[in-house]
Structure 1
């Protein structure tokens, strides 16, 4: 906070105030709706929207991030607590706050230990698959509330209200922005109008419900909302600490990923730099604050952060203003909050999560990399078939598995010289010349224990394909490290080639790699020479056999 306060200027205040007001209007129905997703009383969603953004403003690094309840984290909370307590019970509320406390402690510890880089191991397609699966689960869970009962025994007045609200929100999402722009509003103002549509729809539904006395006819409402700010909550259940460890770790992990996704998107627009470790500390403090005020796990919301940005937020002061307005709403008479119809809130949830269906990522991955596309689909199916926690685990395993699979099978190219130049390229892509007794291989990966066997196998295959080879040159342009296992493998390859009368040479070895090799016996035992460049290796290794052309026509590809 000290950094952005030092840079604060009076000109920033108007944008922060307007953004704070807009997001507060958005947060009331959204926070209450997401509390319902988590299996909690609606007012808990407002509790979780007051202290968390204040603490994030103190420690976080994003200027426009909006921290509070979010659909996916609410679903994960409900999934974690459902086997432990009855939804809405006193124990359930205690466990929700305890889960926020544990998740916050995990995030805070990760930030202090500076391990924010671990989030990079969760790939974009897998994250998209998790989001798609979670969005479908949330939407399906709201159908009963939307219709006022199970199919086919639904409550007609509730179903009519829910479906009308759903259609109105879909219309606002798809067409309202264009209509407002045609009416003369600027694009930013039109976008804010679209974002505030859920608030307007809920207000209209509430007015209709009160005017027609639909509550007496069976339309469910949020019920009594206690007035006043939440008290200090220190209650925990000693019998459930162990049961909450795994969910707390998963929720903490997803909290960071979701929040960083939102913050990075907006930081790029503002040309700002985020600090992942400060983000962890800020999110950790926010969740601990939520726990202390009887809330549940929170994170940065992509949609709310976008509204905050579009409404003119310049600094976290906008979130502080939002929190102050929400606190004021609780201090003032809260009777109007008790009248909000649940079918209308369910409609806002369904439309919100439908916007999370990132099918464009699936289309791109399917065209570009079928492996990533299958990982996306597997994660989505895992969430739907086995639950949110299982989906997260599947996603992490697939991300790491894909990384290991690709690292263990590095690309290796047979090189030849482009005639009349000192450039060496893949002979499968370019018309390059080679020597009969010289085989040049470029290894396009670091050498480590996970890929040395594949590299050795490829070298053996190429030597069998080139039986006249008397000199093997390994071009190390892309090799930035060689671990101990790979060093032993190179030494064994060197001995094997010596026995077969073949020299082993290295070219274009990077400085840090060469420094490490000098600390071993490998350079002295090398059955060949370490050349500065591939061109020097070509010229330095004598050959009595003529140069030969590998291709008559170039392959039409700009890549090597």
Structure 2
């Protein structure tokens, strides 16, 4: 697992190493991504019912705030479709007379404060609920969902939707104006992007060193965009129905006065809480998915802090609530981003693009932009993890597939909710019955192994059992039944020795189950002994005053426990 350099504090040696290593890749990635994100940012603001410039503002300073406190090297923070839909609902239910931008500012502050409090209270531990099948399923489903979401724009349709049913319903209601010409732009762009992706580095390496050729090949999306703009300027296809990006809003921070109406803040808090939860969970899923590809490490608590700072920065600059975007992250990773500084450069380049090349960008066909996003998302799609999961654990493969399908059909919220619930269900199902193995001594040694897997020696009258997991409320009730089944096989047992080395914790239910087992064995005239109990577990037993009812012995070594009745035969 490799770690990325932290550049949020000034360290000359670290900055020199960064300048000699990742700086060039981050600059290239930022240059490519910044131009592609401008129309997306405008669209998400409009989806939320906000002025379009709110999407641009939410894509600038929030990136810098996240870079200062976050942990992911490639996650793209900004407006996202799911949050935009939730914001639009909050705007629709706001008190009469409150302008949409005022609602967005209050929501951004409340989301930032809630995420900061979650980081302070260390609620990042909830990230443990995101299993690898959930992450992999989301990653694959997200790639498919992004690709599908770009098809209407690729064909010149105004259809929109955050899930496949919504997209299909919107598509049926939306005509396709001049779709053959629009589709021509999109299809040609897809072919060009795909060919350049596969061949550009090889072609350029014939004229220059390989390293420089690979670097320039990453700029191929910008070449395709520039070519499309030039073709549009010559043919004026926009006059014949091809949908263009259009004029960009002026980049002027007209900071609206923050509303201090406490009634409004109280009324919006129930909307801010789920937005904060979805922002963190979905962002963490994106960050973990990207980290698995790059072999980097994500710190969930720093993710909370980074998202909190990003949302507060959005509020301070007339933006809107933000989160980690799968589309932005995929594009950044595909363009070669290596550290969080790529986000800083992206913010700078986006601002410069709006100020300096806004007029040429207005001529960019939306279909070409959609083709660029589609090709980047398809590059993430990978079925190999599903094949590996099927060979290793089919239940987890089913879970992975379920999350992927739900991401496409129902959206992120349903996919993550069902995925986490199903993961918990699998865990409970697998731990509902404690695994207790009958063990014997490996001949000539002091090692004890499972009698069903190894040729071992058993001691007549003494049953040695190894408890292979902690005794918790999920499995403790079954302990006596499991031991009783072993007694049926060995009715001459006069002593049972539990090897406790795998047990890391015994909760109150587990303590009650251990006492029930002790009493059940005592009723049959069988003594219960324990061996190799870990210190923290023994501390818990002592706190539960177990010696008041436990009549057996405690042995430091399982071999000594077995030798208590004489040498093992």
Matches within 5 A, 1:333-348: 334-348=358-372
Distance change in 2, residues 1:472/1:177 (3 Å): farther
> Is the CA contact (8 Å cut-off) linking 1:504 and 1:527 kept in structure 2?
yes
Unaligned ranges ≥5, structure 1: 548-560
CA RMSD of aligned residues (A): 3.3
> For residue 351 of structure 1, what is the aligned residue in structure 2?
375
- Structure 2 residue aligned with 1:158, among 182, 189, 213? 182
CA pair 429-42 structure 1, distance change in 2 beyond 3 A: farther
Per-residue CA shift, 1:401-438, capped at 9, x if unaligned? 22333333332211011111111001111111112312
SS at match of 2:496: strand
Show the counterpart of 2:10: 5
How far is the alpha carbon of 1:84 from its aligned partner?
6.1
Give secondary structure in 2 for the equivalent of 1:514. Answer: helix
Q: Distance in 2 between matches of 1:29 and 1:411?
A: 56
Query: Counterpart of 2:193 in 1: which secondary structure?
Result: helix
**Distance of aligned partners of 1:344 and 1:2 in 2 relative to their CA distance in 1, 3 Å threshold:** closer
Match of residue 38, structure 1, among 40, 44, 69: 44
What is the CA deviation profile of residues 495-535 of structure 1, one whole-angstrom value per residue up to 9, with x for unaligned ones? 11111011111111112212222233323532321111221
Answering whether residue 98 of structure 2 is matched by residue 74 of structure 1, we say no
Which is worse superposed, 479-488 or 349-358? 349-358
> Superposed, which structure 2 residues align to 1:12-27 within 5 Å?
12-13=18-19, 18-19=24-25, 21-27=27-33
Which residue number corresponds to residue 250 of structure 2? 227
What CA distance in whole angstroms lies between the structure 1 residues aligned with 2:252 and 2:25?
23
Distance 1:91 1:163 in 2: 41
Instruction: Indicate whether 1:138 and 2:154 are aligned.
Output: no
For residue 126 of structure 1, report the CA deviation from its aligned partner.
0.9
Q: Say if 2:59 is the partner of 1:53.
A: no
| Residue deviations 1:276-322 (CA, integer Å, cap 9, x gap) | 423321222113323443245232754455468x57x6x75554344
Cα 1:10–1:129 change in 2 (3 A) is: closer
Out of 281, 285, 293, the position equivalent to 1:257 is 285
Contact 1:53-1:66 at 8 Å conserved across structures: no
Aligned residues: 530
> How far does residue 348 in structure 1 lie from its aligned partner after superposition?
1.6
**How far off is 1:267 after superposition?**
7.0
Matches within 5 A, 1:37-436: 38=44, 40=46, 46-61=56-71, 64-65=73-74, 67-69=76-78, 74-81=80-87, 100-149=108-157, 153=176, 155-180=179-204, 185-186=209-210, 189-232=212-255, 241-262=269-290, 268=296, 275-293=299-317, 294-299=319-324, 302-303=329-330, 306=333, 310=336, 319-332=343-356, 334-436=358-460
Structure 2 SS opposite 1:523: helix
For residue 506 of structure 1, what is the aligned residue in structure 2? Answer: 530
Residue 486 (structure 1) shift: 1.0
Q: CA contact under 8 A between 2:518 and 2:550: conserved in structure 1?
A: yes
Cα pair distance change 1:284/1:484, threshold 3 Å: same
Shift of 1:539: 1.0
CA displacement, residues 353-408 of structure 1 (integer Å, 9 cap, x when unaligned)? 22332422212211111121111122223233333321121122122222333333
Q: State whether residues 67 and 306 of structure 2, in contact with CA within 8 Å, keep that contact through their aligned partners in structure 1.
A: yes
CA distance in 1, matches of 2:425, 2:417: 12
TM-score by length of 1: 0.84
State the secondary structure of the residue aligned to 1:506. strand
Instruction: From the superposition, tell whether residues 27 and 399 of structure 1 become closer, same or farther in structure 2 (CA, over 3 Å).
Output: same
Contact 2:115–2:305 (CA under 8 A) maintained in structure 1: yes
Question: In the TM superposition, what is the alpha-carbon distance from 1:76 to its structure 2 partner?
Answer: 1.8
